[in-house]
Chain A
């Protein structure tokens, strides 16, 4: 298998070096750019499999770079942000970023995000069944089983769960979830989301107070993870 190629656009030399070492030692091919302009040219000349983009670039805002990229570039873009600035992160995600990481980050987390982003693009084929450790979702019969016991879900709960599960490992913003499950016009009704997430957790998590599957990304959205203890 060919090595996946990753383009890193960040103006900090240390971060570039750190990412280069981490990614290369994990079998990725890395190209680097320190300026927005340089990054856009590199991406156009030789489109990579994934782009890691810092939001705070000296010559142009990362948001603008993302917009320019998204006019033609469809592969995942992972955002790096300096502080816990949820507004910035949500803006980038709603503008087409695939995921985000806040500096300082753990390299393990970085690799996990990259892998799930790459996997997402690899398998957009139609699946009939999604299986996790104790949870099985049958997309044909629209039924859900937990530890082989059927789980009764309302249709909203089912839609929410499948949307999350199909995007396993990826963060989905409140805005996106509300729009997809409830429809446009409900985008800001986060109270619906809170209530239904709580109900879903009660039905599918081993301990709803310590969720292992539906994880909260505070201020941003939710992320479905298959890290249930076996």
Chain B
């Protein structure tokens, strides 16, 4: 993430906080006038992306989330501190869900951070 994102959030890397992230995402999408269906997809995608990065996350670490907002689309990236070299399993159910619900799914490594990012576009965007 070279440029600075529109929204940044840092949370404890625990699954209990994923709900907070999902809710935040839904709030942002509502601001962008996504439809309820889009918001549900986005919510689900965030949950799956978090599950993917949390799988290899170091205990006691942080969960980072950044959001890039534009008219009719939202790009979400989540990452967690991970001292393992394991990448998210692209054969996993979670990855399948993520690629089905969103576009441009990417995974990348930035130092200790394992990123998963994706874009969701509003279905009524021009």
Partners in one complex: no
Which residues from chain B sit less than 8 Å from chain A, CB to CB?
Answer: none
Which residues from chain A sit less than 8 Å from chain B, CB to CB?
Answer: none
